[in-house]
């Protein structure tokens, strides 16, 4: 990983904001990811993220914290928060913004336990592929304290395969339609391609059942997105 995402966050944090990150996927054209969005305050967050922050309790783990916007908000509200990310640049920015406990760490290497585990901005993305979902869910479950919960958002991206006549062009024999190849570039450099998983609610619920988690639909957004709460069954 070249950590272009972290480099972009550091540029923004250090006042060197000249351009946005460009993303694309195997099923979609190039799109801009505006850097200011990653530094959003509570009032600029989508309703589903605001809802997740309102449901937060106890000691918190913010998984894939990015620039640390959710952690910062919660810390300011008095919560004890740990922010983790695999991006060195992201963690540097999160620390510079004032989050006291931020570490470069892959979620599968986390061992502490928490009352709330947050995975936000398509939190299922880090699972990468459908075949890996139960491994990640089992691990997340092992990090829960008694009465703890996991708050995770994602989208059903079936709409991305809809053509003008309302038909769907996805190949039903191929892999799950939410498994995408994700490409990112910044300032003319290309990041190594990544896998990124969008999981519809029913698939998440099924996966949860197999690992002894109860999956509750908390809220739906305006565009096939949703927030779910997972608790031990």
Ligand X SMILES: C[S@@+](CC[C@H](N)C(=O)[O-])C[C@H]1O[C@@H](n2cnc3c(N)ncnc32)[C@H](O)[C@@H]1O
The CA distance from 16 to 203, in Å, is 41
**87 near ligand X, judged by CB under 6 A:** yes
Which residues 6+ apart lie within 8 Å of 125 measured at CB?
64, 154, 196, 197, 198
Spatial separation of the C-alpha atoms in residues 38 and 87, rounded to whole Å: 14
Q: What is the chain's length?
A: 233
In the complex, minimum distance from the CB of residue 84 to ligand X, in angstroms, rounded to a whole number: 5
Assign 134 to helix, strand or coil.
helix
- Which of these segments, 20-28, 65-73, 144-152, 210-218, binds ligand X (CB under 6 A)? 65-73
Report strand pairing: 114-119 vs 102-104: unpaired
Q: Residue 64, interface with ligand X (CB under 6 A)?
A: yes
Q: Coil, helix or strand for 125?
A: helix
Query: Residue 38, interface with ligand X (CB under 6 A)?
Result: yes
Site for ligand X contains 215 (CB under 6 A)? no
Nearer to ligand X, 87 or 204 (CB): 87
User: Which string of x and - marks every residue 120-149 that binds ligand X (by CB under 6 A)?
Assistant: xx----x-----------------------
Using the rule CB under 6 A, which residue among 23, 25, 69, 155 binds ligand X?
Answer: 69
Closest distance between ligand X and the C-beta of residue 127, in Å?
Answer: 9
Q: At what angle do helices 69-76 and 47-55 cross, to 10 degrees?
A: 40
Strand ranges of the sheet holding 81-85, from the earlier edge strand across to the other edge: 102-104, 81-85, 60-63, 114-119, 144-155, 225-232, 213-220
Q: Is 85 in the site for ligand X (CB under 6 A)?
A: yes
Is 160 a binding residue for ligand X by CB under 6 A? The answer is no
Q: Contact region for ligand X (CB under 6 A) — 72-80, 83-91, 179-187, 207-215?
A: 83-91
Based on the shown chain and the rule CB under 6 A, indicate whether residue 107 belongs to the binding site for ligand X. Answer: yes
Q: Which residue of 10, 35, 74, 84 would you call a contact of ligand X, by CB under 6 A?
A: 84
Determine, following the binding rule CB under 6 A, whether residue 155 of this chain makes contact with ligand X.
no
Does the footprint of ligand X cover residue 60 (CB under 6 A)?
A: no
The least CB distance from residue 83 to ligand X, in Å, is 9
Q: Does residue number 22 form part of the binding site for ligand X (CB under 6 A)? A: no
Strands (E), the chain: 21-25, 28-33, 60-63, 81-85, 102-104, 114-119, 144-155, 179-186, 189-190, 194-197, 213-220, 225-232
Cα–Cα distance, 67 to 91 (Å, whole number): 7
Instruction: Tell me which residues touch ligand X (CB under 6 A).
Output: 5, 38, 63-66, 69, 84-87, 90, 106-107, 120-121, 126
């Amino acid at each position: 990983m070249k950590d272009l995402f972290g480099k972009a966050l550091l540029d923004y944090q250090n006042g060197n904001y000249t351009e946005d990150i460009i993303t694309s996927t195997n099923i979609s054209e190039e799109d801009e990811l505006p850097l200011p969005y990653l530094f959003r305050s509570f009032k600029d967050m989508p309703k589903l993220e605001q809802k997740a922050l309102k449901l937060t309790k106890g000691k918190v783990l913010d998984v894939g914290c990015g620039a640390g916007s959710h952690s910062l908000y919660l810390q300011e509200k008095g919560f004890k928060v740990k922010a983790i990310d695999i991006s060195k640049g992201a963690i540097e920015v999160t620390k510079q913004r004032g989050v006291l406990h931020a570490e470069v760490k892959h979620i599968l290497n986390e061992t502490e336990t928490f009352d709330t585990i947050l995975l936000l901005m398509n939190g299922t993305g880090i699972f990468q592929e459908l075949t890996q979902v139960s491994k990640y869910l089992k691990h997340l479950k092992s990090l829960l304290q008694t009465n703890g919960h996991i708050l995770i958002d994602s989208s059903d991206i079936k709409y991305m395969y809809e053509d003008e006549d309302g038909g769907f062009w996805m190949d039903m024999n191929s892999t799950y339609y939410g498994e995408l190849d994700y490409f990112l570039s910044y300032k003319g450099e290309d990041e190594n391609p990544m896998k990124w998983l969008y999981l519809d609610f029913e698939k998440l619920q099924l996966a949860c059942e197999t690992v002894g988690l109860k999956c509750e639909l908390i809220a739906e957004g305006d565009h096939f997105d949703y927030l779910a709460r997972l608790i031990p069954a």
